[in-house]
């Protein structure tokens, strides 16, 4: 069974909810998904997973200067080289994500990760578009489908 780590940083709970919803969807597709906060996650374990999704709330001046939180960036600095997993990013926001994903990608550059998915949400709910993006991502990795209800 493929495994996934969904790692998030969340202050008021929206990004946590989004991470939980992502994890639940992955489980519905037969992936063994662990959803965990950056404070509880041992970064050294991430390379063992097939999929790693790393999320953070959007910080900035609402219309400009979006960037990941300092704690999140500090966490990424402890991640060793990611040789094995496919890596995706997620964030929650109010108005605009702006430079958020670019800055998140830059923070992950030292890990060597090729980021192949970006998901963003205002309310932390997993919309149909998010599900479709996740399914396409899984299909590209040759993962998923086992947990689907026949006929759906
Ligand atoms: C200091 C601060 C700065 C923020 N900057 C932005 C921003 O630049 N753009 C935006 O869309 N939302 C911004 N937000 C809103 C948060 O990104 C949004 O509410 C997010 O869902 C919170 O996630 P959390 O509940 O996981 O902490 C900001 C919030 C705070 C507290």
Rounded Cα distance, 135 and 62, in Å: 30
Residue closest via CA to ligand 1's atom 7 equals: 62
Kindly state whether residue 20 falls inside one of the protein's structural domains: yes
Kindly state whether residue 22 falls inside one of the protein's structural domains: yes
Rounded Cα distance, 121 and 3, in Å: 23
Kindly state whether residue 87 falls inside one of the protein's structural domains: yes
Atom of ligand 1 nearest to the CA of 10: 26
What is the predicted pLDDT for the residue at 21? 98
Query: Domain holding 121: CATH number?
Result: 3.40.50.360
**Binned average pLDDT, 10 residues per bin, the chain of 152 residues:** 97 98 97 98 97 98 93 97 96 96 97 96 98 97 64 38
Kindly state whether residue 16 falls inside one of the protein's structural domains: yes
What is the predicted pLDDT for the residue at 53? 98
What is the predicted pLDDT for the residue at 146? 52
Kindly state whether residue 133 falls inside one of the protein's structural domains: yes
Kindly state whether residue 152 falls inside one of the protein's structural domains: no
> What residues make up the domain containing 106?
3-140
What is the predicted pLDDT for the residue at 63? 85
Number of Cβ atoms within 10 Å of the Cβ of 98 = 18
DSSP 3-state helix, strand, coil percentages of the chain (rounded to 5)? 35, 25, 40
- How many domains are there within the chain? 1
Kindly state whether residue 148 falls inside one of the protein's structural domains: no
The whole model's pTM is what? Answer: 0.95
What is the predicted pLDDT for the residue at 152? 37
CA of 20 relative to ligand 1 center, distance in Å:
18
What is the predicted pLDDT for the residue at 51? 98
Kindly state whether residue 46 falls inside one of the protein's structural domains: yes
Asked whether the CA dihedral 97, 100, 102, 108 is positive or negative, the reply is: negative
């Amino acid at each position: 069974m493929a495994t996934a780590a969904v790692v998030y940083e969340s202050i008021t709970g929206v990004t946590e909810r989004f991470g939980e919803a992502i994890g639940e969807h992955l489980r519905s597709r037969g992936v063994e998904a662990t959803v965990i906060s950056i404070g509880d996650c041992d970064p050294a374990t991430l390379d063992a997973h097939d999929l790693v999704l790393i999320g953070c709330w959007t910080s900035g001046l609402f219309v400009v200067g979006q960037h990941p939180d300092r704690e999140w960036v500090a966490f990424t600095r402890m991640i060793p080289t990611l040789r094995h997993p496919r890596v995706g990013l997620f964030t929650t926001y109010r108005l605009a994500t702006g430079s958020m994903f670019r800055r998140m990608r830059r923070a992950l550059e030292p890990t060597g990760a090729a980021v192949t998915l970006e998901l963003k949400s205002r309310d932390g709910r997993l919309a149909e578009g998010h599900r479709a993006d996740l399914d396409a991502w899984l299909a590209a990795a040759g993962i998923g489908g086992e947990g689907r209800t026949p006929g759906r």
